[in-house]
Amino acid sequence: MTDIIYRAAIPEDLPQIAQLYDMKKNSRKYQQIKAWLTNQSETFHVAEINSEIIGGVAIRFPNPEEAWLSHKLIKPEIHNKGIGTSMALYEESIAKKNNAKQLRLATRVDNYPVHWMIGEKLRYYQVSRWIRIKRLKPSKNLLLPSSYYQFLNSPQIQTDIHLSSVQSFVENHVDYHLSYKLVPDIHDLTMYTKLDISRPDFQELYKAAILEENSQIKAVAIYTIKKGTNDFILLQLYSNRQDYSYVLLSQLLQFSSANGYFFSFLPFAPSYPIKTILKRWTIAPPSHYQPDWLILGKELF
């Protein structure tokens, strides 16, 4: 095969990139890639053979120590020729040049070719698993079994809590560490980065809901509300017991229903079967129950 050139994309590449990704000009992905190229951020890179763009990938640095890959695509007719692997290694070299210590990417749990390529060949490992269920309508017959309340004495639910009030609970919760302190990035819900509750942008866009018993926090949900699209998005759920999670979740479903919001659930997947009970309590087309995402990672130094 003719030598492949890997390079940062330029604005003149946009027509070929749009054709490769089959993007319409009004699509979100097109506008995002166009902005990267216009700003000359060197975020988006292409693979090129004889002046033809046959692959693309984005690399972003949400913080100085962490690099993220996304938008990776190789022209279908040249799959299985090692181009995806060599392109991933090229991006790894870019991350190292920028002194990133970790490289991360998100992929669907059923994307087995990617799992094999980066897991077996490039030695990535699973960092976390994320549930992705979008735009649900809570069921009108949302009933919580009384057994979930048997360990709670007059539980109280509060919403619109400032994140600073739950920081101690979150940082000492086991799932906070298992999930590598991940929540969706504030600007792109398909991009994940570390949770830093002290960040002003998190303080502005995220709120907490809490389950209390005798003035002690038993469970915390971190969420955001997009009023323009009527979306209530639960981004992370922390609790000491799974029944506490169910009690808080049921109350937030009722809250979203009372306010006319769609309910989206995008958290780190807990060890207990929360997706099963959530499906029982909500109504949505099958397409809204999307496959989980795996967060895969590799240490660079």
Q: Which residues contact 256 (CB under 8 A, 6 or more apart)?
A: 138, 232, 262, 263
Instruction: Provide the residue type at 93 as one letter.
Output: S
* Helix and strand totals (H; E) in the chain: 9, 15
Burial level of 285, CB count in 10 A (0-12/13-18/19+)?
exposed
pLDDT digits (tens, 9 = 90+) for 54-69: 999 999 987 788 899 9
CATH 3.40.630.30 domain residues, the chain: 5-100
Q: At 2, is the pLDDT very low, low, confident or very high (cuts 50, 70, 90)?
A: low
Average pLDDT over residues 14-21: 95
Cα 237 to Cα 219: distance, rounded to the nearest angstrom:
7
Burial 221-236 (b: 16+ CB within 10 A, else e): bbbbbeeeeebbbbbb
pLDDT higher than threshold 50 for residue 165: yes
pLDDT higher than threshold 80 for residue 15: yes
pLDDT higher than threshold 80 for residue 178: no
Q: At 7, is the pLDDT very low, low, confident or very high (cuts 50, 70, 90)?
A: very high
Question: What is the fold, at CATH topology level, of the domain defined by 5-100?
Answer: Aminopeptidase (3.40.630)
Residue 219, number of CB atoms within 10 A of its CB: 28
3-class DSSP state for residue 173?
coil
CATH number of the 133-290 domain: 3.40.630
- pLDDT at residue 126, rounded to an integer: 85
pLDDT, averaged across the chain: 83
Cα 200 to Cα 273: distance, rounded to the nearest angstrom:
34
Average pLDDT over residues 47-53: 92
- β pairing state of 262-265 and 231-239: parallel
pLDDT higher than threshold 70 for residue 180: no
pLDDT digits (tens, 9 = 90+) for 119-158: 878 888 888 888 888 898 888 777 776 666 666 667 788 9
pLDDT digits (tens, 9 = 90+) for 229-244: 899 999 888 887 888 8
5-9, 190-194, 254-258, 264-268: least confident range: 190-194
- pTM of this structure: 0.76
- pLDDT at residue 294, rounded to an integer: 86
pLDDT digits (tens, 9 = 90+) for 194-213: 556 666 667 778 899 999 98
Cα 21 to Cα 14: distance, rounded to the nearest angstrom:
10
- β pairing state of 182-185 and 262-265: unpaired
Angle between helices 274-281 and 242-258 (to 10 degrees): 30
